[in-house]
Every structure is written in C-alpha cells, then in structure tokens.
C-alpha cells in the first residue's frame, strides 16, 4: 500500500515540478507541494528498499561524494569553432552550402555562458550526468545535477529508451546575485562571474549545498540511436514535450533563419538586447538545421563543421575619472583604484575600476578628469581600456603616482623588477596592521569566533592590539571597552580565542601572513617540513626542493624568517600555545576502528578532505549516505535537515566536530 502511495506521490511531484520549473504553469501552492514532498520523504524513510535516486526527494540533495567518477562519454563532447565578424559567418554559410548543394535552413540560438553537461537516460530514467571534461572523459556529477529543478529525472513513455541530451547548466542573474551576496556575507569571497559560479557549484562535494544554490539548465542537443530527429529545432521541440527546458522560441532565444541578412539581424538584436535576458550569454550559435545535412557536412577532430559560434564584443562605456585612490594591503603593497562617475554596464552600476600599478597609470597616460573607456569583461571588477583623448580637459595634469603612503606618509619604495610600490612601515601603518590581523582571524585562517573586521578596527584604533599575539593577551576588561561587547559576547570571544589554539600547524602557517604563502602552499610546506623550526632553518635551495615552491615563494620565506620581529612574534605565539608542529598524532591510530561515519556540513578545523582523512587515519570508515548500518553522523555547520532526520530515524548517533576532536584526542 505505502509502495503504491510512494509511486503515486513521486509521479505527482514530478508533474508539479515540471509545471512549476519548466512550463511555468503551477496548479498547486508551494505549501501543498511541500506537504506532498514531506509525505513522500516520510514514506521513503520507512521503506528504505524503495530508494530511487530519481525520486523528487533527491532534489534537496544531502549526499556527500568523496570524488567524482571519471566516465567515458558515449559520444565525444566536441566544442564549437569561433567567429568574430560577419565575413567569417558568410564564409561558414558558403562552405555549408557548397557541401549540402541546396539553400540552407539555419538555426540561430543564444550561446549560454555556463557549463556544458551531458544527461544520459535509460528506460526513461536519468542514469548519469557528466561534465564535458576533456571531451572524451568527464566527471559523473549526477548527485548534483539531480538537485537542478528544471532537469527531468523521469521521462514520459513516448521518449526513447536510450537518450542523451546535452545543454548548459548556468545561474540566472538573480540566483547568481543571491549566491554572491550570501558568500560575501559569510566569508567575503565572491564568484567572479556566473560561469565560474556554475562550474564551482557542480564540483561541490555536498549536494545539499548545490540544491540551495538554484542552478538552472537549458538544453541544446539531442541524440538517440532509436529516434530519427529530422531537424535540430524539431528535436528541441520534441524534448520540451518530454519535460526538458529548451530555449524559448517566442522570446527569440532560437530562430530558424534562411538568409545571411536574417542571421545578421538576429546577431545585432541580441548583441544589444542581451542584458535584458535573465541569464548571461557570450554570443550566439549558428547551426545547420537539417540533421541529414549536418551528417553530410561532418566534423573536424574538435568541432562540427555544421555549426559555428559567434562571440559578442564585451560592452564598453565611457565615463569620467573622478580621482585615483590608493589602497594599502596587509603586505604594504599599494594598489591604485580609479574612482569613476557611476555608470551602468552589463546590468550593474560601476563606480570603481582597478588599475594595477604605477606602470599601468603611465601606460594609459591618465590625466586628471579624463574620460575613460571601461569594459566589464567576464570579471566583476571592470578595467580601464583607454583614455578618450578627444575629451581631455585643456591644461589637465597627468596623474602622478603617490610618493608617500596615504595613511602613515612614509616614503614608498619600489624594488627593482617589482611592479608594485610598498609602504615599508609595517610596524605603525594602520591599514597594514589591520590587514594582517584581519587575515589572521579570517575563517580560512585561525577562524576566531566573535572577532570580525569591525572588532579589529576598534582594537587597533584604541591601541589595544597591533599583532596577533596581542589578541591572546586581552582580558575581560579589555573586551568590555569595545562597542557592542557585553557579558555574552565577551564570553564567546574569549572561548573563540582559546579554541583557536587547536588550529593545525598548516593553518597557523597560513595565518601568520607570509607573502605568497597561501593556504595551499602552507599545506605543502607543513607537510614537507613538519614544524616551524625546520622551516625556519631551511635554506633557499631546500625550500626549492619542495613541490610547487618556486624562487618567489622561497625568497619570501627566507626574507620573512630573517626578520627578528617576525621570529619574536612566532616565539610569543608558540608560548601562548599555538600549533607550530604538524600533528602526526594517531596516524596509525585505531580509535575509530569498527565505526562508520557519514560526513555532512562545513567544519571549523578541517576541510572536507581533512576530516575524511582524519576519520580514516584513525581506522574509521566513511560512507556516503545514512543507513541503519551507519554508526555516526559527523556534523559540521549547515548539515542538511534531511540528513539529521534520516540519522535519527535509523538510530545513527550524532557527533559534533568538538566531540570528534576529543574522541581522537587531536589538539587541532
């Protein structure tokens, strides 16, 4: 009985999902939908044998994958050759015409700026979703793709048994902005553009997180050994009846064109109108519509000869330079930034543009009040392309790079061979002090609970802190001197500071902020040298022996460790109790032998890989989904509610990160 109900609920939820996300024609409210989904989820938990990866409940994600399997594409995934002007398109059409021998019918469509995906269906069920990879092998990212609401998981009976549909996974502008806002609020990191965001999201190991990010898909090619598609446009129309999202013909996202003029008209229309679309495109694609003629024209090794991409120019606008400001980084590096008259470009208001260094100012020959052409390419920060000389104000002065630090007024220095100017006053130049402290407390560094940039600002301004070790010397009374700090927040911050003493050596090494030593380099160094003492004593050539450590990093390390004040600070931090040695503890430990763990959420002291490794190093076993055989659900923050529910249902014990640390006896 409940199995029948499960089937009925699945069918009904798939239908409602299609109505909501593909045909934009829902007939039940969100509340009713959630009620049905909840009922199905309860029934599935009571009937684990009825598990189906294509159930609508799987769209919320929750599964953690260790790594994606590499699979061979059933048909190689080729790319498109590019064209940038009308002559190249005319030549392409002529070539196609000469092979086909007849007047051509061409499909012209948008080129979505996302990530290519191949969806394979067998017996009308999604069995695999694979990224393009190198065109021959791709990654099986099915768990993540199943969370994309407008991708059908089950097809109707009219669809063939074997079907492969390819298309683009992308972020709508709304979903992208949402995601970046959330990311910025949580750790200040933003994706540069929707394409990077889509590609990063598909590679996430936590499908629950993927589900929250609202990816979309649009399909552009169809293949089946069992079905004769006559034309490309017809094939898309057919698959749309089977539930796939395809380009909207009424909105002109795809059109059949018979003449070169038709095509040029289409291209120039979308070149200007593309910003009104709800997603990013980077051009258009022109394809021979007839499948028979496509086959006649054939392929090169890399791309079909019957299709070509046309890339739009990126948008350029003219605006006025108000002034050049100078930012001071934590290393003392000075970066000039152009402050502009606000101007709309590619759907956002631009107020600033980056100018990398003094050479760039000279190269652009920037003058005060110049009108400048700016371009927002694929990246978020626009750049100045050139000055519009015809608009230069008579008598305006060239912009001169500053000689003194805008904050502490020390004379700036530029070393030979270095493009950047530096303020060398690292001891009292406040932006540098704040920059170093902000780096130290950052989530990816020491991750100190209760301390943020505002707190650092205050601590430095009132002179309580100017290097990391000072943070550990503050007592309750000091914290009460800050705005917004009351009993509870003071308690929290003191606990957060105490907890940071458990952070691993590799992260401490990253946190102290050696130039060019990012988190990956810190990891490599800590693994190779094992302790700060061996690292301090390593010669430049010993440093160069480490994988991926080049002369620039080696020099930077040597110069850092030959500075007495840095060495003194390291000694202070060591005395305070920070980790300056790699933990090899419990490497061959057996504390977790016989126990299996499901890992979910984001952890404070471990990356996903680190915590898995730690479980395995201690003899535990990682399993990907919760079942009655699982012993523990090891939970980070943001663990999926469905996971917790499932764990409770199967009597799987919940384990927090701190409990785990205590269990393995790590001093992370």
Residues 6+ apart with CB under 8 A from 249: 237, 255
Whether residue 430 lies in the annotated active site: no
CA dist 588 and 614 (Å) reads: 10
CA dist 148 and 17 (Å) reads: 11
Residue 502 touches ligand IVH, criterion: CB under 6 A: no
CA dist 615 and 595 (Å) reads: 9
Report angle CA 348, 351, 355 to the nearest 5 degrees.
115
- Least separation in angstroms between CB 115 and ligand IVH: 7
The Cα-based distances of 170 to 196, 229, 553, 663 in angstroms read 9, 26, 37, 42
Q: Which stretch binds ligand IVH (CB under 6 A): 45-53, 110-118, 394-402, 439-447?
A: 110-118
Q: Toward ligand IVH, which CB reaches closer, 270 or 440?
A: 270
Report the site for ligand IVH in 306-365 (rule: CB under 6 A).
309
Q: Toward ligand IVH, which CB reaches closer, 78 or 544?
A: 78
Per-residue contact flags (x/-) with ligand IVH for residues 560 to 599, judged by CB under 6 A: ----------------------------------------
The Cα-based distances of 280 to 21, 327, 353 in angstroms read 19, 31, 21
- Least separation in angstroms between CB 252 and ligand IVH: 13
- Least separation in angstroms between CB 2 and ligand IVH: 42
- Least separation in angstroms between CB 83 and ligand IVH: 12
Q: Which stretch binds ligand IVH (CB under 6 A): 31-39, 105-113, 225-233, 234-242?
A: 105-113
Q: Which stretch binds ligand IVH (CB under 6 A): 108-116, 313-321, 323-331, 441-449?
A: 108-116
Q: Can you give the three-state secondary structure of 297-345, one letter per residue?
A: HCECCCCECCEEEEECCCCEEEEEEEEEEEEECCCCEEEEEEEEEEEEE
Residue 220 touches ligand IVH, criterion: CB under 6 A: yes
- Least separation in angstroms between CB 520 and ligand IVH: 28
- Least separation in angstroms between CB 282 and ligand IVH: 8
- Which of 37, 89, 104, 116 is the binder for ligand IVH (CB under 6 A)? 116
- Least separation in angstroms between CB 256 and ligand IVH: 14
Report the site for ligand IVH in 126-145 (rule: CB under 6 A).
132
**Closest residue by Cα to residue 385 from 481, 321, 442, 301:** 321
Q: Give the chain's length.
A: 668
Q: Toward ligand IVH, which CB reaches closer, 80 or 277?
A: 80
The Cα-based distances of 57 to 26, 36, 154, 499, 545 in angstroms read 19, 10, 13, 38, 51
Closest-approach residue to ligand IVH (CB): 116
CA dist 96 and 73 (Å) reads: 27
- Least separation in angstroms between CB 195 and ligand IVH: 10
CA dist 318 and 343 (Å) reads: 8
- Which of 44, 139, 168, 657 is the binder for ligand IVH (CB under 6 A)? 168
Q: Which stretch binds ligand IVH (CB under 6 A): 35-43, 111-119, 313-321, 592-600?
A: 111-119
- Least separation in angstroms between CB 95 and ligand IVH: 16
**R_g over Cα of the chain:** 29
Q: Toward ligand IVH, which CB reaches closer, 289 or 432?
A: 289
- Which of 59, 111, 442, 643 is the binder for ligand IVH (CB under 6 A)? 111
CA dist 245 and 215 (Å) reads: 13
- Which of 13, 285, 493, 573 is the binder for ligand IVH (CB under 6 A)? 285
Residue 112 touches ligand IVH, criterion: CB under 6 A: yes
* Burial degree of 179 (CB within 10 A; 0-12, 13-18, 19+): buried
Per-residue contact flags (x/-) with ligand IVH for residues 239 to 278, judged by CB under 6 A: ----------------------------------------
Provide the 3-class DSSP secondary structure of residue 382. coil
Q: Toward ligand IVH, which CB reaches closer, 168 or 449?
A: 168
Per-residue contact flags (x/-) with ligand IVH for residues 27 to 66, judged by CB under 6 A: ----------------------------------------
Cβ atoms of 219 and 245 closer than 8 Å: yes
Q: Toward ligand IVH, which CB reaches closer, 61 or 247?
A: 247
Provide the 3-class DSSP secondary structure of residue 510. helix
Report the site for ligand IVH in 173-202 (rule: CB under 6 A).
none
Residue 232 touches ligand IVH, criterion: CB under 6 A: no
Q: Which of 111, 287, 434, 467 is catalytic?
A: 111
Q: Toward ligand IVH, which CB reaches closer, 232 or 439?
A: 232
CA dist 204 and 215 (Å) reads: 13
Q: Toward ligand IVH, which CB reaches closer, 117 or 412?
A: 117
Q: Toward ligand IVH, which CB reaches closer, 79 or 186?
A: 79
Answer positive or negative: Cα dihedral of 535, 537, 543, 547: negative
- Give the number of residues in contact with ligand IVH, rule: CB under 6 A: 14
CA dist 150 and 241 (Å) reads: 13
Cβ atoms of 360 and 394 closer than 8 Å: no
Per-residue contact flags (x/-) with ligand IVH for residues 62 to 101, judged by CB under 6 A: ----------------xxx---------------------
Residue 380 touches ligand IVH, criterion: CB under 6 A: no
Q: Toward ligand IVH, which CB reaches closer, 73 or 376?
A: 73
- Least separation in angstroms between CB 76 and ligand IVH: 9
H-helix or E-strand spanning residue 350: strand 348-354
- Least separation in angstroms between CB 209 and ligand IVH: 23
Cross-strand pairs, 345: 348
Provide the 3-class DSSP secondary structure of residue 38. helix
Residue 109 touches ligand IVH, criterion: CB under 6 A: yes
H-helix or E-strand spanning residue 164: strand 162-170
Q: What one-character DSSP code corresponds to residue 576?
A: H
H-helix or E-strand spanning residue 385: strand 383-387
CA dist 293 and 96 (Å) reads: 9
Residue 304 touches ligand IVH, criterion: CB under 6 A: yes
- Least separation in angstroms between CB 153 and ligand IVH: 22
Cross-strand pairs, 386: 373
The β-bridge relationship of strands 371-375 and 125-131 is unpaired
Q: Toward ligand IVH, which CB reaches closer, 79 or 590?
A: 79
CA dist 608 and 595 (Å) reads: 19
Cβ atoms of 104 and 308 closer than 8 Å: no
H-helix or E-strand spanning residue 597: strand 596-600
Q: Toward ligand IVH, which CB reaches closer, 310 or 606?
A: 310
Per CB under 6 A, residues contacting ligand IVH are 78-80, 109, 111-112, 116, 132, 168, 220-221, 285, 304, 309
Catalytic residue positions, numbered = 111
């Amino acid at each position: 009985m409940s199995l029948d109900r499960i089937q009925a609920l699945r069918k009904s939820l798939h239908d409602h999902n299609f109505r909501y996300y593909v045909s934009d024609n829902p007939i039940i409210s969100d509340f009713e939908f959630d009620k049905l989904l909840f009922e199905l989820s309860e029934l599935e938990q009571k009937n684990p044998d009825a598990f189906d990866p294509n159930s609508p409940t799987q769209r919320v994600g929750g599964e953690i994958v260790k790594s994606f399997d590499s699979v061979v594409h059933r048909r190689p995934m080729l790319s498109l050759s590019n064209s940038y002007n009308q002559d190249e398109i005319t030549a392409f059409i002529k070539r196609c015409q000469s092979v086909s021998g007849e007047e051509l019918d061409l499909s012209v469509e948008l080129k979505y700026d996302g990530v290519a995906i191949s969806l394979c269906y067998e017996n009308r069920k999604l069995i695999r979703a694979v990224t393009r990879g190198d065109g021959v092998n791709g990654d099986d990212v099915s768990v993540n793709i199943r969370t994309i609401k407008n991708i059908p998981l089950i097809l109707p009976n009219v669809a063939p048994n074997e079907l492969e549909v390819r298309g683009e996974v992308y972020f709508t502008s709304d979903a992208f902005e949402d995601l970046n806002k959330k990311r910025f609020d949580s750790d200040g990191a933003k994706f540069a553009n929707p394409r990077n965001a889509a590609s990063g999201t598909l590679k996430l190991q936590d499908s629950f997180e993927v589900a929250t990010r609202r990816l979309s898909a649009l399909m552009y090619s169809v293949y089946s050994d069992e079905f004769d598609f006559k034309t490309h446009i017809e094939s898309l129309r057919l698959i749309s009846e089977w539930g796939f999202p395809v380009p909207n013909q009424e909105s002109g996202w795809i059109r059949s064109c018979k003449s070169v003029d038709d095509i040029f008209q289409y291209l120039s229309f979308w070149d200007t109108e593309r910003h009104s679309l709800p997603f990013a495109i980077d051009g258009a694609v022109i394809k021979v519509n007839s499948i028979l003629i496509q086959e006649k024209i054939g392929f090169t090794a890399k791309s079909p000869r019957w299709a070509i991409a046309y890339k739009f120019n990126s948008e350029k606008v003219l605006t006025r330079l108000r002034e050049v400001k100078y930012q001071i980084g934590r290393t003392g590096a000075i970066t000039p930034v152009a402050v502009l008259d606000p101007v709309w470009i590619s759907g956002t208001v631009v107020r600033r543009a980056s100018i990398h260094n003094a050479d760039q100012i000279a190269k652009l020959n920037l003058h005060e009040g110049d009108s400048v052409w700016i371009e927002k390419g694929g990246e978020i920060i626009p750049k100045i392309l050139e000055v519009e000389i015809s608009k230069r104000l008579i008598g305006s002065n060239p912009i001169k790079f500053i000689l003194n630090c805008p904050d502490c007024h020390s004379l700036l220095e530029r070393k030979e061979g270095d493009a950047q100017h530096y303020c060398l006053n690292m001891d009292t130049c406040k932006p540098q002090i704040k920059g170093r402290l902000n780096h130290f407390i950052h989530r990816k560094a020491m991750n100190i609970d209760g301390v943020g940039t505002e707190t650092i600002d205050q601590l430095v301004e009132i002179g309580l802190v100017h290097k990391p070790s000072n943070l550990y010397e503050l007592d309750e009374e000091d914290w009460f001197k800050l705005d917004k700090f009351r009993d509870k927040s003071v308690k929290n911050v003191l606990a957060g500071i105490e907890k940071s003493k458990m952070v691993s050596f590799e992260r401490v090494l990253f946190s102290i902020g050696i130039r060019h030593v990012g988190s990956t380099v810190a990891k490599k160094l800590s693994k190779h040298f094992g302790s700060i003492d061996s690292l301090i004593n390593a010669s430049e050539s010993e440093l160069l022996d480490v994988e991926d450590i080049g002369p620039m990093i080696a020099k930077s390390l040597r110069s850092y460790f030959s500075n007495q004040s840095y060495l003194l600070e390291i000694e202070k931090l060591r005395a305070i109790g920070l980790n300056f040695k790699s933990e090899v503890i419990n490497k061959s430990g057996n504390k977790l032998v016989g126990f299996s763990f499901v890992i979910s959420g984001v952890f404070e002291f471990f990356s996903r890989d680190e915590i898995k490794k730690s479980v395995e190093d201690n003899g535990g076993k990682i399993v990907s989904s919760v079942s009655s055989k699982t012993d523990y659900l090891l939970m980070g923050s943001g663990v999926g509610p469905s996971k917790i529910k499932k764990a409770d249902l199967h009597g799987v014990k919940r384990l927090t990160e701190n409990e785990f640390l205590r269990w393995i006896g790590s001093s992370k």
